[in-house]
Structure 1
Amino acid sequence: MPFESEIGSDAPIGIFDSGFGGLTVARAIVDQMPNEDVIYLGDTARAPYGPRPIAEVRSYAIECMDRLVTHGVKALVIACNSASSAALRDARELYDVPVTEVVLPAARRAVAASRNHSIGVICTEATATSRSYNDAVAVAPQVRLTTQPCPRFVEFVEAGITGGDELLGLAREYLEPIQRAGCDTLILGCTHYPLLQGVISYVLGDQVTLVSSSEECAKATYQVLQRRELLHHEPREAQRMFLTTGQSDAFEGIGSRLLGGFVEDVHTIKVGRRN
């Protein structure tokens, strides 16, 4: 059932992702804003978005955000780099609530953190094709950006595999262009990737700063809600609801494997096209 509250500080934060990676954003939001109710929608029936054409990703993202808006959310968080790249501008035109996303906050943090102005971003094919990170760092013309799609990382995360020889070999292959470019900062440009920080850091070494788009998105969401005076500052028992377009038991099982007992109260829903 949806939260029965008017749009205001008592309303929940709506978080959307193509699947499970955005759970890292949801977890970061709950950690940074423990008094906030959240509703998470994972479009697992149509995931992954990364290999899909941008227009298709946009259509799916709008359908899912439409559904979250029916729950009376006070903010929308696009917790998916592919969807952020495809649908952010449309979302900000369509909805009356603030919309935050993962690309620009992570890019800003990386520009601030880099010492040699050589920044890498690992991401899905859709995010790479959109060149959204190129646009995001364009305000810093001295930056040299190296973009590397890492599509198979998502498969490992959603299978609950975060180590082992096969993943390590794949990580070395994917990250070789980042090392060759001399990047001192790497944006984890897919919300699945923070769950692979161990193997990524192992390959690149401690001298490379990892920037989590999940953590930076949560910080940006806090700032927006603070400016609009929509935050709960007093301790309260916050609620979490998880929606999926796939099987609820499968979602809860994978979510629990990835993030312990964080995922609960999962419901299967259908989403439809805008009229």
Structure 2
Amino acid sequence: MSLNGSIGVFDSGIGGLAITQEIRKLMPNEDIVYVADSLHAPYGEKTDAAILQRSIAITEFLLTQNVKAIVVACNTATTSCIDALRQRFNIPFIGTEPGIKPAVLNTKSGVIGVLATPRTLQTNSFSALADRVALNIQVELMPCPALVEQVESLQLDYAAAKDVVAQYVTPLMAKGVDTLVLGCTHYAHLLPVITKVAGPQVTIINTEVAVAREVQRRLHQANLMGEKQQGGSTQFYTTGNPTQFQRQVDMLWGAGFQVAQC
């Protein structure tokens, strides 16, 4: 692995762009390669075996792009198979876990809510995380199968998204939740809507900044921080329709970046 290699990032779609933006802010001179597995999205209702198969395929592609670390910018893939990826490949993997620990530290009511994909909530690693850090705290789980598609279709404004968000958030508020964990990277793109639906009394826990800081820490630890003095490049790939992905990148990242199919 080279100091001047890229940081690889992958997600089932565009959810990981929010983490990638934080990585770019924190490490402006690092090169980044982002892969959206759009053809096989969403991951939230797939089996562990299917998620691992896709994660291996994307990792193998990223390794051809001279990456020095890989960010699994998908809660479902992290909870499902990051341990298997670490055993299989000799490269640092940084995952994304729901921010249950900061939610536990924040709650005053003793009731926290977790919005996530059905698969994330079913994994043993998620259950272990909740059991480990949420002692004496009531954890209300809400599977949100429709939110990923809401984001992928770029229906992100309040008028377009309020009803689908409310069907998941409102029942949690009725149970006394005062701290809400976004347990899927896609949901960050709906943060303004979720915040408005939940109301000012609810704290929203999002982990993009924490993940970016962990990437920086791991690169420092492994002596893999880049030596470039100029701004880093960002390359975008998708396994799906490049025209659709281009539209998504233009809206969420900014115009002027070309995408390619992989």
What's the TM-score, normalizing by structure 2? 0.91
For 1:135-190, what per-residue CA distance to the aligned partner results, in whole angstroms no more than 9, with x for missing partners?
22322222322111112112221222123445212222111232133222211111
What is the DSSP-based 3-state SS (H/G/I as helix, E as strand, rest coil) of the residue aligned with 2:246? helix
Please tell me whether the aligned partners of residues 10 and 58 of structure 2 are also in contact (alpha carbons under 8 angstroms). yes
Q: State the AA in 2 paired with 1:169.
A: D
Alpha carbons 1:107, 1:133 under 8 Å: kept: no
The residue type equivalent to 1:268 in the other structure is Q
Residue pairs, 1:199-238, within 5 angstroms:
199-232=193-226, 235-238=229-232
Please report how far the alpha carbon of residue 218 of structure 1 lies from its aligned counterpart in structure 2 after TM superposition.
1.4
2:78 corresponds to: 84
Provide the rounded CA distance (Å) in 2 between the counterparts of 1:252 and 1:235: 28
Amino acid at match of 1:243: Y
* Residue aligning to 2:122: 129
**Contact 1:79 / 1:214 at 8 angstroms: preserved in 2?**
no
| Equivalent-residue separation in structure 1 for 2:107 and 2:227 (angstroms) | 33
1:10 to 2:16 alignment: no
> Which residue among 104, 107, 127 is the counterpart of 1:114?
107
Task: Pick the aligned partner of 2:89 from 95, 103, 108.
Answer: 95
Distance 2:110 2:56 in 1: 35
SS in structure 2 at match of 1:139: helix
Letter in 2 for 1:238: G
1:188-199 → structure 2 map (5 Å cutoff): 188-199=182-193
Structure 2, gaps ≥5 residues long:
none
1:26 aligns with 2:4: no
Q: Secondary structure at the match of 2:38?
A: coil
- Which residue identity lines up with residue 224 of structure 1 in the other structure? R
Determine the C-alpha separation between the residues in 2 that align with 1:28 and 1:62: 25
2-side partners of 1:236 and 1:194: how far apart?
29
Candidates 232, 235, 255, aligned match of 1:241? 235
What is the alpha-carbon distance in structure 1 between the residues aligned to residue 65 and residue 160 of structure 2?
42
Specify whether residues 234 and 182 from structure 1 end up closer, same or farther in structure 2 by C-alpha distance, changes over 3 A only.
Answer: farther
How has the CA–CA distance of structure 1 residues 114 and 36 changed in structure 2, closer, same or farther, with 3 Å as cutoff?
farther
Q: Is the 8 A contact 2:114 2:183 kept in 1?
A: yes
Q: Which runs of 5+ in 1 are unaligned?
A: 1-6, 270-275
- After superposition, the CA RMSD in angstroms is 2.0
Contact 2:107 2:178 (8 Å CA) reproduced = yes
Which stretches of structure 1, 4 residues or more, deviate above 6 A after TM superposition?
A: none
Structure 1 residues 131 and 258, CA, compared in 2 at 3 Å: closer, same or farther? farther
Identity %: 31
Is the partner of 1:96 in helix, strand or coil? Answer: coil
2:52 is matched with 58
Conserved in 1, the CA contact under 8 Å of 2:29 and 2:226? yes
CA contact (8 A) 2:4 2:227 kept: no
Q: Give the aligned length.
A: 261
- Contact 1:84 1:101 (8 Å CA) reproduced: yes
SS at structure 2 position matched to 1:243: strand
- Contact 2:3–2:227 (CA under 8 A) maintained in structure 1: no
TM-score norm. by structure 1 comes to 0.87
From 35, 59, 79, the counterpart of 2:29: 35
